[in-house]
Structure 1
Amino acid sequence: MAAKPYTMGKFALPRTGKGGMTMDKKAVRGWVWYDWANSAFATTMLAAVMPVYYESVAGSGLEGNLAQTYWANTQSIAMLLVAVLSPLAGAAADLSRSKLRFLVAFTILGAVSSSLMAFAGEGDWLFASSLLVLGIVGFSTGNTFYDALLRDGVPEEQRHAVSARGYAYGYAGGGVLLAINLLMILQWEQLGFPSKTAATQLVFATVGVWWLLFALPLFTRWKESRPSEEKGGSMSVLGAAGASFGRLGQSLRSLRRYPELLKYMAAFWFFNDGISTVIVMATIYGAGIGINSDDLILALLLTQFTGLPATLLFGRMVARYGAKRMLSGSLLVYLGIVVLGYFMTSSVHFFALAFLVGLVQGGSQASARSLYARLVPIDRSGEWFGFLALSSKFTSILGPLVFSITGTLTGSSRAAILSVAAFFVIGFALLQLVNFQRGAEQAALVVPEAGSGKGTSGGGGSLHA
């Protein structure tokens, strides 16, 4: 008898996958709700409220465009720490056989850091930067274990549906709390706050509470299996982390067998860094050139609620025009956003640019991932997606760093935002050089592994996600 399906919104999913993996209904729902929970950090702390607060309050004593420069440096330092810590934390989780424990730990780190931001007052830019670094480490490193739980608890053929549901919940959850936060800031007098600053500080506390509260269904319902001891289970954390970096080096060396994949990854590193930089720098840039702070946050709310329907429409257009063409078009839109941002002078301009970001943000990311999937050897897809995730953490340091250096050298935040255009120009140009048909053929080739009589797709062992 076939397994009885259960529904998650519009998705009807069987409890048991083809490989016999049993899926816990309540646990999977908890996994989806976690996206609702931690998206509050991405919207309120990274994109909307905190950048404005950092510019106007925490960095109020800084001269010129130093607040924006320090904000950019904070992002780079945080992502460097994430890039270094992720393999170490992942190795430790593998050794302890509990990804959930590490997710709980990093969630607490991120949520507490967010709530403590309520104590960052005027001129406390160093304290605010320190908390933000800890928050980003908790958020980004925690997502590594969150993604891994999907692989552990959901059959492969059902992961896309569950993942898509989580993505939708993330858009909605981040948007709902941001709307509440905006109401708190705009109506601070009516709500009884002594000042707008006090209302904003409470906003930061709500992020931590929201994150922990809606993470509870996952933390209390997810049950991890306890595999038996394997040979090599005595490997130390540093040894396991070293093995992770070793696989990273192996992947780099094997790239010569996949020239189209190499070209695409180079393009991805550039344009993805450009997109990430726009996300984390747009609001503080707007604040620095005098855009009203309330309008900045409201514009980001527009981006959030434009993003979900726009992403769905983008997916339909991909089916008609192709992923490469749509991704290329979205990069040109981003290039236009950066160039127009250089000339921006009013809140109306910022609203227009926020709307444009909402139109292409989700679709461009989805297209980029699907194109990458076409170019990787199918029996090593987990390894290559892991390689992309780790390498992207390192390269994501560059965008904010270029912004910071340009702003420091020129003394102009407008020149700094214009410098981000280079990432889209280079990424777009490299993308046009990729032949995806040839790349798919290269990924399908069976290449003998050095020192082995066997042949594997692309060489090397299989490391499934």
Structure 2
Amino acid sequence: MNPKAVRAWLLYDWANSAFATTMIAAVLPIFYLEVAAGELEPNRAASYWGFTQTAAMLLVAVAAPVLGAIADYAGKKAFFLRFFTWLGVLSSLLFVFVGQGDYLAASFLFILGAVGFTGGNSFYDALLPEIEPDPGKRDYLSSKGYAYGYIGGGLLLILDLAFIQAPGLFGLPDGLAGTHLAFASVGLWWFLFSIPLFRHFRNDQDAAPLKIGQYAAVGFSRAWTTLKRLPRYPELLKYLLAYWFFNDGINTIITMATSYGKTIGIGTQHLIIALVITQFVGIPFTLLFGRIAERLGSKPSLYLSLGIYLLIVVLGYFMTSAIHFYILAGMVGFAQGGSQAIARSLFSRLIPAGQTAEFYGFLSVSSKFSSMVGPAVFGLVGLLTGSVRFAILTLALFFIAGMLLLRRVDLEKGAREAAA
């Protein structure tokens, strides 16, 4: 294992997490509502942002099997990692030209950025076996990359908050200029901290070139083959159904929380501070939740985290002030990392040995398709009722359905099915 290559790999998570925090969760949703779609009625603007998320997830879900096949068979990991990184970087930089009423341009650029972010992660993840030859040590290295992402994305978010709330300190005329600088900072941060990884992986392996249609055929064939095999593992299938519901609820909260808060009157500064709280609370509480799981067991701990999310949705319906948003942000930070870690751990117990790559690949693709539903439902309910409060309350159905389906999963029986 090359220590420099390891540091370079970790820094890429530090780099691209800027897009996750600033563009997906914090600054861009507010900018979309206030500026890009500022001429629209607030509930309609929030719904359009939800539809933008759905479109991005649809495109990413369709592309995911193809990208996975390319990563596995093309021998062009470094080339495609650069390509998708530059796509994400460029889309972030181009946001400096988006102004009042340009919501279509903002939606288009966000979708491009989401494809760059997800595509880059596909090839970044595919480098892990080359970074760490020992399979037994990859889990720890992967977790370390996740921690780097939390810290890097959180630090840039704090800097972006300074740009927006104190533009005069940076020689900027107003907060809008500070917001544009925040978008540019995402592109620059992502690019600069990706350079070490690009330097270590300049050359790709020689491989027989295939046409994009051939990669698509391989990718979708693998996903279809896995889908046909699922009936052999009834408990795994039941768990996947539960996972698709509660994971969609979690992802919708992440992508829509800021736009929801803005629509009901929470100030921009309070929204971004709350997201910084979530970012840094998540680091220690993810580790703490792991200890809770050791004492209570994985399934009860997952119920606990999903119960917290259900409470967040219900309290969110009644939320009226910034302090309420701060409290809910802390609750999300407590539950988010723990729920994701436990859900991933439970899945690993239900899949057959020697087929982890196949089933995790299917989980990645299928969860992206399911993640389209939550934002779409949020946007549709917001349009039909004229109230984002009813839209956020509908997310409770995702968590209730997920928890009810999870109750039907027999983990011990599922483990025996996987072993057989």
Q: Distance in 1 between matches of 2:63 and 2:143?
A: 27
> Which of residues 150, 157, 166 in structure 1 aligns to 2:145?
166
Q: Distance in 2 between matches of 1:371 and 1:149?
A: 25
Aligned pairs for 1:75-154 (under 5 A) are 75-154=53-132
Letter in 2 for 1:67: A
Q: 1:131 to 1:439 in 2, by over 3 A?
A: same
* Structure 2 counterpart of 1:245: 220
The answer (yes or no) to whether the contact 1:264–1:430 under 8 Å persists in 2 is yes
Number of residue pairs matched by the alignment: 419
> Unaligned 5+ residue runs, structure 1?
1-22, 446-465
Please identify, of 185-194 and 127-136, the stretch whose mean Cα deviation from structure 2 is larger. Answer: 185-194
* Structure 2 counterpart of 1:12: none
Q: Distance in 2 between matches of 1:36 and 1:63?
A: 37
Q: Distance in 1 between matches of 2:101 and 2:384?
A: 24
The answer (yes or no) to whether the contact 1:69–1:407 under 8 Å persists in 2 is yes
* Structure 2 counterpart of 1:17: none
SS at match of 2:153: helix
The answer (yes or no) to whether the contact 1:64–1:411 under 8 Å persists in 2 is no
* Structure 1 counterpart of 2:52: 74
The answer (yes or no) to whether the contact 2:157–2:276 under 8 Å persists in 1 is yes
Q: 1:26 to 1:337 in 2, by over 3 A?
A: same
Q: Distance in 1 between matches of 2:290 and 2:64?
A: 31
Per-residue deviation at 1:253?
1.4
The answer (yes or no) to whether the contact 2:74–2:209 under 8 Å persists in 1 is no
**Residue 65 (1) aligns with residue 43 (2):** yes
Structure number with larger C-alpha Rg? 1
> Which of residues 183, 186, 203 in structure 1 aligns to 2:165?
186
Per-residue deviation at 1:319?
1.3
SS at match of 2:127: helix
* Structure 2 counterpart of 1:418: 393
Q: Distance in 2 between matches of 1:83 and 1:373?
A: 22
The answer (yes or no) to whether the contact 1:95–1:237 under 8 Å persists in 2 is no
Aligned pairs for 1:306-455 (under 5 A) are 306-445=281-420
Q: Distance in 2 between matches of 1:64 and 1:331?
A: 29
* Structure 2 counterpart of 1:212: 191
The answer (yes or no) to whether the contact 2:33–2:42 under 8 Å persists in 1 is no
* Structure 2 counterpart of 1:461: none
**Residue 291 (1) aligns with residue 262 (2):** no
For normalisation by structure 1, the TM-score amounts to: 0.88
Please identify, of 183-192 and 109-118, the stretch whose mean Cα deviation from structure 2 is larger. Answer: 183-192
Per-residue deviation at 1:153?
2.9
**Residue 265 (1) aligns with residue 240 (2):** yes
> Which of residues 136, 148, 157 in structure 1 aligns to 2:136?
157
Per-residue deviation at 1:95?
4.8
Per-residue deviation at 1:408?
1.2
Letter in 1 for 2:330: F
The answer (yes or no) to whether the contact 1:74–1:129 under 8 Å persists in 2 is yes
Please identify, of 238-247 and 271-280, the stretch whose mean Cα deviation from structure 2 is larger. Answer: 238-247
Per-residue deviation at 1:135?
0.6
SS at match of 1:65: helix
By relative contact order (CA 8 Å, sep 6+), the higher-ranking structure is 2
Please identify, of 352-361 and 248-257, the stretch whose mean Cα deviation from structure 2 is larger. Answer: 248-257
Q: Distance in 1 between matches of 2:104 and 2:163?
A: 25
Letter in 1 for 2:392: I
The answer (yes or no) to whether the contact 1:287–1:296 under 8 Å persists in 2 is yes
Letter in 1 for 2:328: L
Q: Distance in 1 between matches of 2:333 and 2:74?
A: 40
Letter in 2 for 1:204: F
SS at match of 1:304: helix
Letter in 2 for 1:124: D
Q: Distance in 2 between matches of 1:161 and 1:350?
A: 33
Letter in 1 for 2:413: R
SS at match of 2:173: coil
Q: Distance in 2 between matches of 1:76 and 1:419?
A: 16
Q: Distance in 2 between matches of 1:84 and 1:306?
A: 33
* Structure 2 counterpart of 1:200: 179
Q: Distance in 2 between matches of 1:93 and 1:266?
A: 27
Per-residue deviation at 1:345?
0.6
- Greater helix share, structure number: 2
Per-residue deviation at 1:92?
3.8
> Which of residues 283, 298, 301 in structure 1 aligns to 2:276?
301
SS at match of 1:189: helix
SS at match of 2:169: coil
SS at match of 1:190: helix
Per-residue deviation at 1:276?
0.3
* Structure 2 counterpart of 1:45: 23
Q: Deviations over 1:50-98 (max 9, x none)?
A: 1111111111101241111110011110111111122223334445411
* Structure 2 counterpart of 1:222: 201
Q: 1:220 to 1:426 in 2, by over 3 A?
A: same
Q: What fraction of aligned residue pairs are identical, expressed as a percent? A: 53
The answer (yes or no) to whether the contact 2:77–2:204 under 8 Å persists in 1 is no
